[in-house]
Amino acid sequence: MESKWIDSSQQEFKAKILLTGIDDIGLVNEITQLISNSMHINIKSINFESNAGVFSGKIAVDVKNNTSLAQIMKRLKKINGIDKVMRE
């Protein structure tokens, strides 16, 4: 039986990131700018809700590996107003 190797460096997987924090004008824009423009990561879906000044959100992204995902999460934690960043 012949085997064929797949170049896994070209494959991506979908990861979901959960966020919570203090709602502020422009926060979603800052998050999407960081992920899409600064890190060149494709956002597959995004959903945010706000209640009494506190937001919760879920973002699905395509990443190449866990290192990329960890880097996104680390940079999201640095945004003013974001309290928690975790993987779903």
CA dihedral 82, 61, 86, 48 (to 10 degrees): 50
Domain ranges of the chain: 11-87
| Residue 1 confidence (pLDDT) | 66
- Between 11 and 69, whose confidence is greater? 69
| Most distant CA pair in the chain, distance | 62
pTM: 0.84
Domain 11-87 CATH superfamily: ACT domain (3.30.70.260)
State yes or no: pLDDT of 9 exceeds 90.
no
pLDDT in tens, 54-80: 999 999 999 999 999 999 999 999 999
